[in-house]
Amino acid sequence: MATANPDFTDTPELKRRDWSIIGLIGLVHGTSHFFQLVLPTLYLSLAHEYGYDFVKLGFLASVFFLVSCLGQASSGFVVDRIGPAPVLRFGLSCFVASAVLIGVSNGYFMLVAAAAIGGIGNSVFHPVDYSIINHRVSQKRLGHAFSTHGLTGNLGWALTPVFMAAIIYVADWRTAAFGAAALVAVVLLMSWLGRDLLAGKNQAVVAADDPAPSASVQSDLARKSVGETLAALLVQPALWGAFLFFLFTSVSLSAVQNYTIPMLGEVYGIDKIMAGSALSAYMVAAAVGMIAGGFLVGATPNTERTVAVSLFMAGGLLVVLAAGAVPPPLAMALVALAGFCSGVSAPSRDMLIRRVTPKGATGTVYGLVYSGMDVGSSLGPVSFGLLMDAGFRQGPWVGAAAAFSIAALLALWVARSASRQAARLGGQTPYGV
């Protein structure tokens, strides 16, 4: 990434526009996370309506995320070629269609189709969001943009159970599905009304990131074919490292999300209600950590060190928990502190990926590396479940700590790989949005 242009002026108008973009993208990202939990919040209602077992119900979520994984790895190519705004509206439209299909469903096939359509919609948001953030938000507020993006995702997760349960309570599950469709439709309308905020590139950002854009036109991968772009990316070790980074961090998160409640019960004798509160505290603390991490992005250019230190700390806290050597109240506090540490890493992580993104391939790269999250999310629960069934009751915490540590090392390696690549080019980095 090029050094910021000294002629760049941060005006009040630019600041207001930046925060408008950040707010709109945050709303969209929160909506994508909201929709990820629409089907799971309907499990009990669907089981009562149709008599489905949890294998069939769980398969709906598997379809959603499998389609999302495949789509996310490829949708970035589309984002880089036609722009993020129309792809964003396509994703939201898929959510609306999926929710309506759930509401009118009369059997399992329609629910599977709804899950697949929802997965297609979900696949576009990381390439879209990060393309807009990197192209439209000034570098001075990038850290806050990344932290807000992560925070709104957590808030979207938190909203779904409350929203869906409230409508089911006063009406029924079909009305709740239509309510989800209506909510997403409102966000779709807002994204259309705010389309001028999302389209094109902020010329101040271009000037700051690339003082001599004409010098790098030949390296702009958006001007190349999909095959040429993919060939150029697959030989970048840093991008493979970034993919593995997201895989291991999502493995850790899946261990914490799926098994913290039973582990707190078995290791510390904490009842389910208190253990559930501890898990909620983890998620809230992670959101707070994301806000704090946004300030750290601007405090140091070595974002990989922030990522590594925070993930090592989170892993260390999980090892202490697995040892079972602290009193139950302190164990619950350590769960929350581990969440805070993992949250701190998120904005710096996103900035690190920005540093290793070749020019013209922002959507493609974020789509490819973030697909590692879907892979890790599918591998983690099964692997740690096998450990629990085999009698290793602290296994998920230990495994999560190991995965966090591997991810921390990968962050350092990714940064060094990018630096070596720049050195081979005589100090001129090939990266930049």
- Token pair 């009304």 is found at 193
Domain boundaries, the chain: 12-211, 226-424
For residue 424, how far is the Cα from the chain centroid? 32
Least Cα distance to 118 among 149, 90, 152 occurs for 90
The predicted model gives 116-139 an average pLDDT of 91
pLDDT at 2 over 60: no
- Token pair 């001129």 is found at 428
Most confident of 52-61, 131-140, 236-245, 385-394: 131-140
pLDDT at 97 over 80: yes
DSSP classification of residue 221: G
Q: ∠ CA 71-241-155 to the nearest 5 degrees? A: 55
CB 332 within 8 A of CB 264: yes
The predicted model gives 314-327 an average pLDDT of 94
The predicted model gives 72-83 an average pLDDT of 82
Domain 226-424 coded CATH 3.30.300.90:
no
Q: Which helix (H) or strand (E) holds 112?
A: helix 108-122
pLDDT in tens, 352-371: 887 777 766 677 777 778 78
The predicted model gives 17-45 an average pLDDT of 91
The predicted model gives 181-197 an average pLDDT of 94
Q: ∠ CA 217-223-229 to the nearest 5 degrees? A: 110
**For 358, phi and psi rounded to 5 degrees?**
-60, 150
pLDDT in tens, 298-319: 667 778 899 999 999 999 999 9
* pLDDT for res 7: 46
The predicted model gives 178-202 an average pLDDT of 89
* pLDDT for res 85: 92
What is the three-class DSSP state of 111? helix
Between the alpha carbon of residue 141 and those of residues 134, 148, 189, 207, 423, the distances in Å are 10, 10, 26, 15, 28
DSSP-derived secondary structure for 16-60? HHHHHHHHHHHHHHHHHHHHHTHHHHTHHHHHHHH---HHHHHHH
Domains 12-211 and 226-424 share a fold: yes
pLDDT at 214 over 50: no
* pLDDT for res 139: 84
* pLDDT for res 354: 76
pLDDT at 64 over 70: yes
| Whole-number Å distance between alpha carbons of 204 and 334 | 43
pLDDT at 335 over 70: yes
pLDDT cut 70: percent of the chain above it: 85
218 confidence band (pLDDT: 50, 70, 90): very low
Treating both helix axes as pointing N-terminal to C-terminal, what angle do 125-136 and 362-389 enclose, rounded to 10 degrees?
130
63-67, 112-116, 206-210, 423-427: segment of lowest average pLDDT: 206-210
The predicted model gives 397-412 an average pLDDT of 94
* pLDDT for res 379: 76
**For 211, phi and psi rounded to 5 degrees?**
-60, -25
| Whole-number Å distance between alpha carbons of 160 and 33 | 9
CATH number of 12-211: 1.20.1250.20
Amino acid at 359: K
Residue 358 pairs in a beta bridge with 431
